[in-house]
Amino acid sequence: MTDAIEDVESFRLRARTWIRANLRPLEPHETLAPTLALPVQTEEEELAALARERELQRMIFDAGLAGIGFPREYGGQGLTTDHQRAFNAEIVGYEYPARLQAPTFSPCGAVLLDFGTEEQKRRHIPAILKGEEIWMQLLSEPSGGSDVAAALTSAVRDGDDWILNGSKVWTTGASTADWGLCLARTNWDVPKHRGLTVFILPIHQPGIEVHRIEMLNGSTEFCQEFLTDVRVPDSDRIGDVDGGWTVGTRWMFHERMLFNSPFVSIPVGTSPGEVGAASIVNVARDTGRFDDRCVRDLLGEAHMLELVGQTLRRRIGRGVAAGRISEQSAAITRLFAGVSSARKATIAFEIAGPAGAAWTADDGAAASCGDDFLMRQTSCIGGGTTEMARNVISERVLGMPRERTPDRDRPFRDVPRSASNRA
């Protein structure tokens, strides 16, 4: 009883028409994707921006353009990555709900779609697509680093409920989110991957205390949460008890695939959190160094990295979509993006010269290069480190022998851990 799905080009035209008629064109210089390096927003500004985005999302929903890859029965459009890509091309240069895309639509919405019960999906996915629910991920922990499956946050069964205790870190949007997706340990007597369970829970409740983390550049985008006796009904469990790693694996896959996802709108050409090659051109202009052949060499390199990154993303995205290469190949895109972004930050800093050490507003585009350089490794850390990406590529894509993991076959409570996290 499925309808034939809408042709990509007719969808593109429909999207284009609606976007041009309803969305505000961006001013030159206006950026939507928040990056660590941007001037810090106040909480009021953040809330106001978000309110506007909820409104925009509702408009998009009402126009029949929301949730391109989500099934129609949950309020989505039931279309494909190609349709999403067409939308991403059309949205370039227009205001759109940038903050809602990740982690709300994906990985959170995508995980709900993959593992949620019918009831959970009906309750949350339409609300997400209307801009009514904003979600956050409660995944990383202070003790864990890249070893996400070593979560120490515990969930203990209590009748029809679970009681959660522990701490999560590197979350974003804790002050603005409505719901969270949370990975917790439900069994300490089995190896780590087999004792995890995923829950969903409302964020604003007394048992959850939120601390902002100040980054070295003054940004306070990230938070740490302390969960104390947070009660979650079993009906808000996602997937099986102790089956959380199955969910978590998919969760992290969606995270890596953001740029090739049918769930997320990202204007073509965007690389959030990156120092773009175009802005490096402005650094060269504003320092009056465009004629220096060495500077031109660096500009050429930056732009080369950007073009290669875009074409690589397209190749891997299509290859995965067509089933020609494994989903694990997303790690290739992630690795390239991280390393090339760090290199671009270095190039900008080099071109800025002394303005990288000290600057005033007169320095134009050169003014933020020093702070960006200090933060440059975030592109190789956030969203899974480049080290983890290299592990995935060598072991999962190339099939090389797995690293020795002494925690693999022993009860999690007996696994050696960092001095600071030992019992």
Partner 1 sequence: MLLELSSDQEIFRDTTARFLTSRVPISEVRSLRNHPAGFEPDYWREGAELGWTSLLVSEEHGGGSVSGGGLVDLTTIAHEFGVHAAPGPLVPTNVVAGTLSTFGGEAHRPVLESLLAGTSVAAWCFGPAVDTDGRGPAGPRCRIADGEVVLDGVQRPVEAAGQAHHILVTARAEGGLTQILVPTDTAGVSIEPMRTADLTRRFAAVTFDGVRLPVEALVGEPGDADELLEYQLQLAVVIGNAEAVGALQTAFDMTLQWAFDRYSFGRPLASYQELKHRFADQKTWLEACHAVNDAAAAAVDDRSPDAKELVSAAKAFIGDYGSELVQDCVQIHGGIGVTFEHDLHLYLRRVTVNRALYGTPADHRQRISTVLENRKERV
Give the x-and-dash track for 349-378 against partner 1 (CB under 8 A). Answer: xx-xxxxxxxxx------x--xx-xxxxxx
Sign of CA dihedral 236, 239, 245, 251: negative
Gap between the Cα atoms of 154 and 65, Å rounded:
39
Question: Which listed option, a copy of itself, partner 1, none, makes contact with residue 282 (CB within 5 to 8 Å by class)?
Answer: partner 1
Q: What are phi and psi of 219, to 5 degrees?
A: -65, 145
Q: What is the CA radius of gyration of the chain?
A: 22
408 binds partner 1 (CB under 8 A): yes
Contacts of 98 (CB under 8 A, 6+ apart): 32, 33, 34, 53
404 binds a copy of itself (CB under 8 A): yes
Q: Tell which residue, 59, 81, 52, has the closest CA to residue 69.
A: 81
Q: Which stretch binds partner 1 (CB under 8 A): 6-14, 119-127, 238-246, 311-319?
A: 311-319
Q: Give the nearer residue to a copy of itself in terms of CB position, either 231 or 296.
A: 296
| Alpha carbon separation from 54 to 58, 129, 196, 237 (Å, rounded) | 6, 10, 33, 27
Q: Tell which residue, 110, 104, 113, has the closest CA to residue 137.
A: 104
Rounded to a whole number of angstroms, the minimum distance from the CB of residue 312 to a copy of itself is 24
Q: Tell which residue, 397, 393, 375, has the closest CA to residue 384.
A: 393
DSSP conformational letter for 222: E
Q: Give the nearer residue to partner 1 in terms of CB position, either 78 or 145.
A: 145
Rounded to a whole number of angstroms, the minimum distance from the CB of residue 245 to partner 1 is 14
Question: Which listed option, a copy of itself, partner 1, none, makes contact with residue 405 (CB within 5 to 8 Å by class)?
Answer: partner 1
Q: Tell which residue, 372, 389, 377, has the closest CA to residue 335.
A: 389
Which token pair is 219? 């940004």
Q: Considering only residues 215, 251, 255, 344, which one is a binding residue for partner 1 as defined by CB under 8 A?
A: 215
Give the x-and-dash track for 288-307 against a copy of itself (CB under 8 A). Answer: ----xxx--x----------
152 binds partner 1 (CB under 8 A): no
Which token pair is 282? 């402005």
Q: Give the nearer residue to a copy of itself in terms of CB position, either 39 or 416.
A: 416
DSSP conformational letter for 221: -
Q: Give the nearer residue to partner 1 in terms of CB position, either 18 or 94.
A: 94
Q: Which stretch binds partner 1 (CB under 8 A): 5-13, 41-49, 55-63, 343-351?
A: 343-351
Question: Which listed option, a copy of itself, partner 1, none, makes contact with residue 259 (CB within 5 to 8 Å by class)?
Answer: none
Q: Considering only residues 39, 159, 206, 416, which one is a binding residue for partner 1 as defined by CB under 8 A?
A: 416
Q: Tell which residue, 54, 74, 197, 94, has the closest CA to residue 138.
A: 197
Q: Give the nearer residue to partner 1 in terms of CB position, either 176 or 385.
A: 385
Q: Tell which residue, 337, 190, 191, 176, has the closest CA to residue 255.
A: 337
Give the x-and-dash track for 321-340 against partner 1 (CB under 8 A). Answer: -x-xx---x-xx--xx----
Q: Which stretch binds partner 1 (CB under 8 A): 153-161, 171-179, 201-209, 287-295?
A: 287-295
Cis upstream peptide for 103 (omega within 30°): yes
- Residue-wise DSSP of 246-258: HHHHHHHHHHHTG
Question: Which listed option, partner 1, a copy of itself, none, makes contact with residue 70 (CB within 5 to 8 Å by class)?
Answer: none
Judged by DSSP in three states, 170 sits in strand
Question: Which listed option, partner 1, a copy of itself, none, makes contact with residue 26 (CB within 5 to 8 Å by class)?
Answer: none
Q: What are phi and psi of 344, to 5 degrees?
A: -65, -35
Rounded to a whole number of angstroms, the minimum distance from the CB of residue 283 to a copy of itself is 18
Q: Considering only residues 222, 245, 251, 253, which one is a binding residue for partner 1 as defined by CB under 8 A?
A: 222
Q: Give the nearer residue to partner 1 in terms of CB position, either 17 or 418.
A: 418
What does the binding site for a copy of itself look like in residue numbers (CB under 8 A)? 292-294, 297, 404
